Amino acid sequence: MENILEMVHIRINGTDLSVPKGTTIHEAAKLVNADIPTLCHLNLEGFGMVNRTASCRVCMVEVVGRQALSPSCSEMVTEGIEIITDSLKAVSARRLNLELLLSNHPMECLTCRKNLQCDLQALAKRLGIYDIQFVGEKMSRPLDKSSAALVKNPDKCIMCRRCETMCNEVQTCGILSANSRGFDAFVGPAFNLDMADTSCTFCGQCVAVCPTGALSEINNMHKVWAALLKHEKHVVVQVAPAVRVAIGEMFDMEPGSITTGQLATAFRRMGFNGVFDTDWAADLTIIEEASELIHRIEHGGKLPILTSCCPAWVRFFEYQFPDLLDIPSTCKSPQIMMGTMIKTYYAEKMNIAPEDILVVSVMPCIAKKAEVQREELRIGEMKDVDWVITTRELGYMLKEAGIDFRTLPEGEFDQILGESTGASIIFGSTGGVIEAAVRTAYEWITHEELTDVNFRQLRGLEGIRSAEVPLKDMTLKIGIAHGLGNARKMLEGIQRGELDFHAIEIMACPGGCIGGGGQPYHHGDFSIIRKRQEAIYREDAGKPKRKSHENEMVMKLYREYLGDPYGEKAHELLHTTYTAKEMI
């Protein structure tokens, strides 16, 4: 029997309409083109997140018959309600509430990381606020730069609670909550701990939804510029798959624009000595990960195997599921594999001392900044990767250099570590890592050519997915989750013995790396994530080679340097260990 929506009849700005019961005033107002400003409100439908704290009070509207105004983002319509969105009383209240917020806000717009990307700044302009009539004491709390991934500035917190909702309800990490009361209130870790002393995964989703500069990534741009000026150093760069379908947004290009060739040209203009594609290392990762999966299947190893490319996800299971540390793949992430190969294989090929090479990564994720600081990801005293910048930071650097990214000609990556297949490109989207692994595992297990490489049952944007792939005399059972809250559900199902998989892919960010915490801000528009995902698969489809084991430069690496996949030297250089960490 079909579900029949219960409708309510309402009036907005003199227009009668019917809307489903449970609709907010703010949602209903859109139907009559009434534009009500919001600040704390955020509806990320594709992420499964709605923030309706109604704390900022800039969305106030007048309800006929009531003396008090109502917050439109949180109040549901009722039968017969009459609403006026543009009354002088409502407009004046919005301006007053915004002025009160601004009166306690640092006026550092010119040097703020969110300058021109700040919702508070944009709303102040929209409401025509150029003078603050309230003068007095302002909050003053210390800046937290304790972690290698993000900066927390409590003085810029407006108590919108977006980050809290994301951290607790979507990612289920439980790091952020309201502290203190009244004038001194701010959002941060319990007991006002430094972020580095918490169980934060540094996924960066709190940064992605913060409307101000209260949360931002650690700035590594000046360190990269300084490295490029050190002519005695050989400075190389690598760029992740998800960056190429998002960086164009920093230059007003359509979301999902593919800019692979422009990136190669831009890096050379910036002065890098070597320009590499992390896709090459993604193909290398698949060779190792598929080999590890096959080894576990054939030798009765621990299953399911969990992919380990996402550093936020790695920190999540180290803290939250330490009893499952024997399940994840021991493979390093593509970023780290690339760094390792640059400072070993590439260094030998180019006759350059490894200590004279500086590796810069451009990643869609702020967790990658923390990943390169892990002690187990070093070659002796050297870090595998020296500095990480996000997609956003690269955009700022290109603008600083005056490079017209939109009109750049397409260039090529250095082929020694630059050739890639379509399998590596789909790493940027949820389901892509496991699909790439299946393309290789299928041919290695069946010894048959895979004619159709599109495993569409592994694609999509549902938070938790499962699929079965026939492989000769067995069926490979696969689980996929993106977003740490969904990862928790899947892992708890494994702990209870309710879920049975051979392999699982987990990505910390909704949508995978395309929705990473270091990508251009989507401001709640989930269609942008979809367009980035579509672009990932378009580029995959356009590649002449779409299986990682067809990457000739990767297979040459094994012949010349590593030996057998999943062999002794490969283990030494391309695999790592994990450590159980105490929840804080």
Q: Which amino acid is at 550?
A: E
Active site residue 112: no
Average pLDDT score over residue span 240-253: 97
Contacts of 34 (CB under 8 A, 6+ apart): 12, 13, 85, 86
Instruction: List % helix, strand, coil for the chain (3-state, nearest 5).
Output: 40, 15, 40
Q: What is the CA radius of gyration of the chain?
A: 25
Name the pairing type of β-strands 357-363 and 378-379.
unpaired
Q: Which amino acid is at 20?
A: P
Residue 538: CA atoms inside 13 Å, Cβ hemisphere, count?
14
Active site residue 329: yes
Asked if 204 and 518 count as a contact pair (C-beta separation under 8 A), the reply is yes
Average pLDDT score over residue span 439-464: 93
Active site residue: 164, 249, 288, 289, which one? Answer: 289
Average pLDDT score over residue span 109-120: 95
CA end-to-end span of the chain: 49
Active site residue 6: no
Active site residue 292: yes
> Which of 91, 159, 95 lies closest to 131, judged by CA?
95
Active site residue 62: no
Active site residue: 62, 75, 292, 443, which one? Answer: 292
The predicted-structure confidence for 510-538, as pLDDT tens digits, reads as follows 899 999 999 999 887 889 999 999 999 99
Q: What is the DSSP letter of 359?
A: E
Active site residue: 217, 371, 539, 550, which one? Answer: 371
The predicted pLDDT at position 1 comes to 42
Angle, to 10 degrees, between the axis of helix 88-103 and the axis of helix 119-126?
A: 140
The predicted pLDDT at position 3 comes to 58
Give the helix ranges, DSSP H, for 216-257.
221-229
The predicted-structure confidence for 374-425, as pLDDT tens digits, reads as follows 999 988 889 999 999 999 999 999 999 999 999 999 999 998 998 999 999 9
Q: What is the percentage of the chain residues whose pLDDT exceeds 70?
A: 99
Average pLDDT score over residue span 335-363: 97
Active site residue: 206, 210, 309, 331, which one? Answer: 309
The DSSP element (H or E) to which 398 belongs, if any, is: helix 391-400
Average pLDDT score over residue span 210-235: 94
Active site residue 309: yes
Active site residue 308: no
Average pLDDT score over residue span 3-30: 92
The predicted pLDDT at position 186 comes to 86
The predicted-structure confidence for 467-517, as pLDDT tens digits, reads as follows 999 988 889 999 999 999 999 999 999 999 998 999 999 999 989 999 999
The predicted-structure confidence for 316-338, as pLDDT tens digits, reads as follows 999 999 999 999 999 999 999 99
Active site residue 203: no
Active site residue: 114, 368, 369, 547, which one? Answer: 368
Active site residue: 216, 291, 308, 329, which one? Answer: 329
